[in-house]
């Protein structure tokens, strides 16, 4: 039997990038997988088709993480459709770069809404459906451990909040047997941060391995945390960064 057979997962922001790899991986591990996207309908449908074609079960939900009602509705739709929720992966995120003096309140509010408030709301809603063994896994950033240069104020502020949120939620949910963790990722090759894009010159030399990580590296760690390997891991950040923060 596959390790996650009988489990139901919800992954936010899985039309592409890390989220898509996580959705595919959890489905390959045997979980039924619901996932959200913002605008990439075709890409999201393609991920679902791949999962279906491989014998898995997928549910695609359009839900803007910036909208508090939409993110909670996505959790409820997942629970209704599949009958339960065992694993929540808070992956959807955006980057708003810029120098401190230039950033606006609107930019700060938007980053906060997508990268932090949605994580809180989805976790709260999903936890209500979870039984013992439930998992909440958020995708944070190794930039909270090492800020490599200017322009990252809002991103680091918001991703740093996930480290605290993870610890506090683990305290609240531990007595119910729910494990909560955050993966602080280093440079991972996606549309957000392409390995041949503008981040390369700054980020690659700071890794000890001299290269970007792949979405499959992230998906493998999520799979581990979601499965038996994650049984005694909670309230903590795990860094996956090729030595970026070393």
Structure tokens at 212: 């970007």
Catalytic residue of the set 37, 155, 224, 232: 155
Cα(75)–Cα(72) distance, rounded to whole angstroms?
5
Query: 95 CB contacts (<8 Å, ≥6 apart)?
Result: 155, 192, 193
Instruction: Report if residue 151 touches ligand NDP, rule: CB under 6 A.
Output: no
Instruction: Report if residue 193 touches ligand NDP, rule: CB under 6 A.
Output: yes
10 Å Cβ neighbour count for 141?
Answer: 31
Are 89 and 12 contacting, i.e. CB atoms less than 8 angstroms apart?
yes
Instruction: Report if residue 15 touches ligand NDP, rule: CB under 6 A.
Output: yes
Instruction: Report if residue 86 touches ligand NDP, rule: CB under 6 A.
Output: no
DSSP track, 166-180: HHHHHHHHGGGT-EE
Choice from 89, 96, 139, 219 touching ligand NDP (CB under 6 A): 139
Cα(24)–Cα(243) distance, rounded to whole angstroms?
26
Residue 224 annotated as catalytic? no
CB closer to ligand NDP out of 94 and 233: 94
CB closer to ligand NDP out of 1 and 106: 106
Cα(42)–Cα(169) distance, rounded to whole angstroms?
34
Instruction: Report if residue 123 touches ligand NDP, rule: CB under 6 A.
Output: no
Are 84 and 8 contacting, i.e. CB atoms less than 8 angstroms apart?
yes
Choice from 7, 9, 65, 152 touching ligand NDP (CB under 6 A): 65
Choice from 154, 178, 188, 222 touching ligand NDP (CB under 6 A): 188
Q: Which stretch binds ligand NDP (CB under 6 A): 24-32, 85-93, 124-132, 165-173?
A: 85-93
CB closer to ligand NDP out of 40 and 107: 40
Cα(154)–Cα(152) distance, rounded to whole angstroms?
6
Structure tokens at 117: 């408030």
Q: Which residues bind ligand NDP (CB under 6 A)?
A: 12-19, 36-40, 43, 64-66, 91-94, 114, 139, 141, 185, 187-188, 190-193
């Amino acid at each position: 039997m596959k390790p996650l057979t009988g489990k139901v997962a919800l992954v936010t922001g899985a039309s592409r990038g890390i989220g898509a790899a996580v959705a595919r991986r959890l489905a390959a591990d045997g979980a039924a997988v619901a996932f959200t996207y913002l605008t990439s309908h075709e890409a999201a449908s393609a991920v679902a088709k791949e999962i279906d074609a491989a014998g898995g079960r997928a549910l695609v939900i359009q839900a803007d993480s910036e909208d508090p009602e939409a993110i909670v509705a996505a959790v409820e739709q997942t629970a209704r459709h599949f009958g339960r929720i065992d694993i929540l992966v808070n992956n959807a995120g955006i980057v708003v770069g810029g120098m401190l003096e230039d950033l606006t309140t609107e930019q700060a509010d938007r980053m906060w809404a997508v990268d932090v408030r949605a994580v809180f709301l989805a976790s709260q809603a999903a936890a209500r459906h979870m039984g013992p063994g439930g998992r909440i896994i958020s995708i944070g950033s190794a930039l909270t451990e090492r800020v490599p240069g200017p322009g990252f104020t809002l991103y680091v502020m918001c991703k740093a909040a996930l480290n605290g949120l993870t610890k506090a939620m683990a305290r609240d949910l531990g007595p119910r047997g729910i494990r909560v963790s955050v993966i602080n990722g280093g440079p991972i090759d996606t549309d957000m941060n392409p390995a041949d894009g503008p981040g390369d010159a700054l980020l690659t030399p700071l890794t000890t391995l001299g290269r970007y990580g792949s979405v499959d590296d992230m998906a493998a760690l999520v799979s581990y945390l979601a499965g038996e390997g994650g049984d005694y891991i909670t309230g903590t950040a795990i860094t996956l960064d090729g030595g970026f923060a070393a």
